[in-house]
Structure 1
Amino acid sequence: MDTRAGRYFRWLLFWQQQGRCCYCGEHVLLTYRPYDAARPYAATLEHLHRRADGGTGHPSNLAMACKRCNDTRGERDWLSYTSWRRDEF
Structure 2
Amino acid sequence: MDTRAVRYFRWLLFWQQQGRCCYCGEHVVLTYRPYDAARPYAATLEHLQRRSDGGTGHTSNLAMACKHCNNTRGGRDWLFYASWRRNEF
Deviation at 1:2, TM superposition (A): 1.0
Amino acid aligned to 1:26: E
| Residue 8 (structure 1) aligns with | 8
The residue matched to 1:23 in structure 2 has which SS? coil
Aligned equivalents of 1:5 and 1:40: distance in 2? Answer: 23
**Aligned pairs, how many?**
89
| Residue 52 (structure 1) aligns with | 52
Amino acid aligned to 2:69: C
TM-score relative to the length of structure 2 = 0.99
The residue matched to 2:10 in structure 1 has which SS? helix
Aligned equivalents of 1:41 and 1:23: distance in 2? Answer: 12
RMSD: 0.3
Q: Which structure 2 segments of 5+ residues have no match?
A: none
TM-score relative to the length of structure 1 = 0.99
Aligned equivalents of 1:3 and 1:34: distance in 2? Answer: 14
Which structure features the higher share of helix residues? 2
Runs ≥4 residues deviating over 6 A? none
Trace 1:1-89 onto structure 2 (pairs within 5 A): 1-89=1-89
Q: Which structure 1 segments of 5+ residues have no match?
A: none
Q: Percentage identity across aligned positions?
A: 88
